[in-house]
Structure 1
């Protein structure tokens, strides 16, 4: 790794690139503008008249870099140096250096995989690791390996870990520039109680204005926080020489340019920015940085298929980049709104977008490139399998991929639009329905921050209100918009956002050849959104709660008119808890779903136990994902399915639903006794019988559907039929239902306890029997309950002989006194047994 001063980095880089190799440049903060590099390469012979393409992660940075280089040449943008970003292009026939955003590179590669007109691709600020940057580098490397071995690739960054990138680029040389940077004093400001982050930033701005010189750059996580801090400061700063300038990606180009432009002499500027100002561009005049320590990043969940914005702590690398903004022009100060102890717990670097983003756009681009397995390309980090699998499933649902994962003609057209696949599919489907104008408006609305601002409550979720507002209000006219559809709710409109939305909608109309005034009824919004979000078609359950076609639940935070719609499509919702909160949606008619999603509607027979009816119910259902679109009774259900549902119903209700007679319970108990004492006998416990219903009961329940039908069952026959003929004979021998006692009576045996079957018999009927009867081939003695004439036990024993010899005489004395008319002989072993008062 070479470490060179700024004046030597360019010759060393040229020498490396002349050797037809790739390169990595690490430019330290303050090392000088990286725009010097493409200018210095213009005259290199290996370019052979081809263009230099330089990538910047953001539109603002691309325009700023192009202007700077054009000024260095004394030209206007669009001559030697131009730029190309989404919806804006300044290039001409003489353009040699083209500064583009990363998504534009993907479009260039898909149009010409060899990049025949390009000599070198420069990836600037690569440490940001955007999804398009990783994809662009992977595609360029394959193009270089297969089609263009003379294509140069240069990766530049201020905080990049160079070694992994160098290895990815074939052990490319790493050149480090140690340019000039001014010292920046870092001040840590611990949190004060429960003070809100926005209030802390605003108060620190006031302190810095009083204590420091120069302009101030304050970093906040998002546009909402910027707006609140701007309002707070506007109420307290009365000095007209101090200008407050917001800077975030959703602002118009003019407002962004004004925020980074230098102030007139005698004035000061406070720039309230998102991470857009962290790298890639220089905000003129900044000497003070105030860092909230927070940033907003998208987090995608493969489980739900949804992306939500999450506010997270910055990494140490990002915090250092932000601090460096204060040392560009001279010594500066950085206020960090956290402690040094908290800083030690920060992550070293931010998570690459590839590892946390929705991969549907990347997956479609790979398919259009001809790659079905990301492992075919070279990546700094492997593509996450779960997110990639979810993306492929979505693209198949949208018709962009075929069964084998190859791109379809429809998918190729989607990729050419450069929109998210959901919105691209919506635009193409809308064209066939002559709803292209409305689809363009919806695509623009969904690509921007919501233009509605609630007046004391969350804005109405009905996206049709936004369409009506766009069409009925003139751009630039601040007003309050209310609609009968909103039940009197009032909303202020962000007119800057509405102008951007209208501009983008017109861009898509031009691209698709749709007339500027083409629209379509806003009532079709739900259908168009269903094309884009088939997994978020929702059916009403109750009280503003819905079931999505992907099986997830969703609900409105508070009831509103849209909450009564039988069906709707949720275009924007979060991914929190068991039920996602719906932010944007539109109603859709059931008939439209059946007409336009017939290929996705599956018909199935549902045969299931109905606990309320205590019967099997057979119904035919039309399902769109998890949603039941239509349901009707099935007159002749499948017998096997009916039997299976009946058996499941018995399990749910418990075996008590069956008609258990005394004989049936005795049969079950005898089987349990044999299972306990004889090998090879089946388990007949309630648990085992419930688990094997299909084997022993189902053959006897043919044609039955309800609890009432089950009462006709003969459970004795059903249990007995499960035994072979030999087993039945063995059962009778080893566990008979009755036993004949000396008196001649047949007495039933109680097998309730398989360890000790019971014979309850009058004592007088056992006279003359010397040994206790035994079961199971003599293994198990019966427990004898010897009864008095009143059928009450006077003795419980397993040792009849011992009873006669030891206990009988005491019992006889008591019984003779209580039952004097009965027969109580002195010698029970020689006395005749009787079931009468006295023997005949």
Structure 2
């Protein structure tokens, strides 16, 4: 009996608070009866007779199930007192007092009538799931109640949520707590820690068979997703007795097949393999054993890449309690957890809300339609600013909002189509196969084990199946195909235009940031117009396509794998985005090739559609590019340049700083005029920068430099002998006979030049920094050695008084 449900213990208090405060928060565990008993009870209270009671459920399956249970309780058919509405399906009439809807339906109701005319109460059931539309719907309802409808009553119900935060959000709404009606459930952990990749496979199969043998009732098995359910169902088929029925239960499953899993069976036992759709709102008859993989698949959106990743993650502790509680709804039960007790602590307390990790494009479109600033909305969790900014950029690409982020006429039309704005764009444009295309893009892959990622192949396969002319029906996933065809039929009702665009162009208009060009090389790697990378399977027939549009990627942050795409021609791209294609001429230094590259490019976003060599860029662009190259390459000073720099350094503070650091910092001033014709690293290495370096000094400074730190020493014979400045002292190397008669030591910048005396054969004899002392002291020993080795040459006894010569004795005579 309905009156035996625990919720009736607090029902009077709840109604009183709703009447007085117009809002309330109810905390009630599964089995309390909140989803069905409260709406029915409110219909019988005069305070709620001024309009419908809207009940929000997080999933389509829960909508139908909750509405059916209420109608059954009243002994009425669906659509009378209690009805429901989901996308593409409705069972309501003028007499309907309770309407159970999905959260997206509520958003549409609000956008079409911001006063919610004819509605007395909005109930948010299972709010702890924190869907994006639930958060947004509550924010809209709170604003409506504050500004337009003071009489609107709002009730938030949750089984696991930290409700104090919700109460505060609702202006300190009263909190009513209800104890649940559940039986004891015995938890059974694994003896040892289990790695995540070991759970879905042999382990879960073994545990299911163990639980089946150890217990008498039916089993509910929680798995991460649809693929794991289908695979495990196939495995169990030959491992369980004939009187044991294995039923799948997931969101995309046909409703009649979902009902098979939920309804009691007449004989035997059943094993229900379910995703998290079975965590809340559903009562599955006969279940006393739960097997929990501890895993769930979540779609994680990355604002940087603009892509979703489907990630298998650990569930939260709150979700684990929900799952475990399923075994104790009707009788005492047992829960087999596929992790060890020591691993319990690694589970987060609560799962993240959708607003934290979802694509916010639909959210942003609703905000633009609402016309409210995000800062003014009562949201339990604020959206990430970058993610919201990226969402608005997508809407701008689709023409849904203007530069001021205000809704456009096009945006209003998109919002009326119950699809992601990208896919709604395809329906709005229209054209042949537009509805079928969007339906395929909204669902799972209809093909089994095919190499091609081509979306056109999927369209052709479904059309052939529809005509019963398909020769490859074995590769089709028939349940998926039927679901796609049904959705396409529904979406065709929204087609108002008929364009002549190709499939490739329709996809490109929905995903302009994912138009991609093949990179050079053997591997089928692509660069997208948003600057991200993608890779195609090596055996994909489209691997050589020069241009594609990516419509489904795996979201890998390094290089996403292409799942579905369509080839597109350059002419098709230009026809669509000709006004957005930029003609750019670039002249830049290539760090990889170490040379200047000058190109004439046509770009769409960050994608280079066409590129040609620019043969005559202006000299100033070439110079600027080479200056960047110099920064990468550094200086390769010639010997002459090194000597000049050393002379300047030795000359002292009267001259500019010509360190490499200073020269690099000021290169655009002194070097640029001399870089004509220098275009590569090889050219730069051959470049003699002496003339450019000398330009840093004026005429007077050059003359002073020559005086203080001369480039040459003039020998007694009048010859120029180059002075080197690489070492601590300036140096010259000269034949000893050429210095006869030199009595003062040569100087540079006030420092004695180190003289290296050479023999007639050019070999080093001795060095000195005091030539007068050398003549007076060391020369006698040198003379003695040299006379023996070079008897034909002149070796005077008094060199300081002798005449310099380069000749032998005979020639001197």
TM-score range, shorter chain: over 0.9
Name which of 568, 590, 610 aligns with 2:570: 590
Instruction: Report the Cα offset of residue 731 of structure 1.
Output: 2.0
Structure 1 CA distance, aligned partners of 2:233 and 2:688? 83
**Partner deviation per Cα, 1:401-434 (whole Å, 9 max, x = no partner):** 21122222112211221311111122223x2xxx
Match of 1:399 in 2: 399
Deviations 1:83-130 (A, max 9, x none): 111111111111111111111111111112222322222111111111
Pick from 560, 568, 576 the counterpart of residue 580 of structure 1: 560
Describe the superposition over 1:538-594 as per-residue Cα deviations: whole angstroms up to 9, x where unpaired.
112243222211222212222221112221111111122632211111111110100
Matching residue within 525, 530, 538 for 2:508: 530
Equivalent of residue 463 in structure 2, options 456, 471, 491: 471
Q: Of 722, 726, 730, which aligns to 1:752?
A: 726
State the SS of the aligned residue for 2:43. coil
Which of 540, 562, 578 aligns to 1:560? It is 540
Say whether the 8 Å CA contact 1:619–1:634 is kept in structure 2: yes
CA 315–611 in structure 1, closer or farther in 2 if over 3 Å, else same: closer
In structure 2, distance between residues paired with 1:680 and 1:30: 92
Aligned equivalents of 2:313 and 2:493: distance in 1?
A: 39
Q: Is the 8 A contact 2:83 2:96 kept in 1?
A: yes
Q: Which residue of 2 aligns with 1:214?
A: 217
Instruction: Measure, in 2, the Cα distance between the counterparts of 1:613 and 1:362.
Output: 45
- Asked if 1:203 is matched to 2:206, the reply is yes
Q: Secondary structure at the match of 2:324?
A: helix
The match for 2:446 among 436, 451, 471 is: 451
| 1:792 aligned onto 2:763 | yes
Q: How does 1:318-397 map to 2 (within 5 A)?
A: 318-371=319-372, 373-397=373-397
C-alpha contact (below 8 Å) 1:24/1:174 kept by paired residues: yes
Aligned to 1:487: none
Q: 1:752: how far off?
A: 3.2
CA distance in 1, matches of 2:302, 2:482: 32
Deviation at 1:139, TM superposition (A): 1.8
In structure 2, relative to structure 1, the CA distance for the partners of 1:601 and 1:258 (3 Å cut) is same
Given the alignment of the two structures, is residue 228 of structure 1 paired with residue 231 of structure 2, yes or no? yes
- Indicate conservation of the 8 Å contact 2:127/2:157, yes or no: yes
Q: Equivalent residue of 2:542, what SS? A: helix
Where in structure 2 are the equivalents of 1:26-41 lying within 5 Å? 26-41=27-42
CA-CA distance at 1:527 after TM superposition: 1.5
Contact 2:87 2:418 survives alignment (8 Å): no
Aligned residue in 1 for 2:245: 243
Matched, 1:162 2:163: yes
Cα distance change on mapping 1:771 and 1:575 into 2, 3 Å: farther
C-alpha distance 5-445 of structure 1, shift in aligned 2 (>3 A): closer
The answer to whether the 8 Å contact 1:295/1:312 transfers is yes
1:86 aligns with 2:87: yes
Shift of 1:735: 2.2
Residue in 1 that maps onto 2:411: 411
Secondary structure of the corresponding residue to residue 767 of structure 2: strand
Contact 1:367 1:406 (8 Å CA) reproduced: yes
Tell me the TM-score normalized by structure 1: 0.90
TM-score by length of 2: 0.92
Aligned counterpart for 1:548 among listed residues 518, 528, 532:
528
- Distance in 2 (CA, whole Å) between partners of 1:805 and 1:78 is 128
Partner of 1:486 in structure 2?
A: none
Structure 1 residue runs without a partner (length 5+): 483-489
Distance 1:154 1:247 in 2: 29
How many Å separate the matches in 2 of 1:613 and 1:152? 69
CA 1:591/1:261 → structure 2, altered by over 3 Å: closer, same or farther? same
Aligned-residue Cα RMSD (Å) equals 2.9
Alpha-carbon separation, structure 2, partners of 1:359 and 1:284: 38
In the TM superposition, residue 223 of structure 1 has moved relative to its aligned partner by 0.7
Q: Contact conserved, 1:57 with 1:280, CA < 8 A, in 2?
A: no
Q: Which blocks of at least 5 consecutive residues in structure 2 are unaligned? A: none
Residues 1:675 and 2:667 aligned together? no
> What is the deviation of 1:719?
2.5
3-state SS in 2 of match to 1:760: strand
CA distance in 1, matches of 2:513, 2:129: 31
Matched residues in 1 for 2:595 and 2:517: separation? 27
Q: Which secondary structure does the structure 1 equivalent of 2:349 belong to?
A: coil
1:807 is displaced (CA, Å) by 3.1
CA-CA distance at 1:692 after TM superposition: 4.4
SS of 2:161's equivalent in the other structure is coil
Alpha-carbon separation, structure 2, partners of 1:280 and 1:772? 105
| Structure 2 residue matching 1:750: 3-state secondary structure | coil
CA change 1:39–1:594 in 2 (3 A) is same
* Aligned equivalent of 2:737, options 764, 773, 787: 764
Distance 1:799 1:318, change over 3 A: farther
Q: Distance in 1 between matches of 2:312 and 2:745?
A: 82
* Partner residue of 1:621 out of 579, 584, 601: 601
Which residue does the alignment assign to 2:787?
Answer: 816
Shift of the alpha carbon at 1:689?
Answer: 4.9
SS, match of residue 21 in structure 2:
coil
Q: CA deviation at 1:791?
A: 1.9
- Cα separation, 2, equivalents of 1:31 and 1:345: 29
Give 1:681 deviation, angstroms: 4.1
Give how far 1:722 is off: 2.8
Equivalent-residue separation in structure 2 for 1:652 and 1:353 (angstroms): 46
1:700 corresponds in structure 2 to 674
**Residues 16 and 750 of structure 1: is their aligned pair in 2 closer, same or farther, counting only changes over 3 Å?**
same
Q: Deviations over 1:158-184 (max 9, x none)?
A: 111011111111111111101321000
Distance of aligned partners of 1:27 and 1:613 in 2 relative to their CA distance in 1, 3 Å threshold: closer
| In 2: Cα distance, 1:503 partner to 1:601 partner | 38
Change (3 A) 1:681 1:526: farther
How many equivalent pairs are there? 803
Residue matched to 1:505: 488
- Structure 1 residue 344: deviation in Å? 1.6
1:689-728 to structure 2, matched below 5 A, reads 689=663, 692-702=666-676, 715-728=689-702
The alpha carbon displacement at 1:721 in A equals 2.1
Determine the structure 2 residue equivalent to 1:137.
Answer: 138
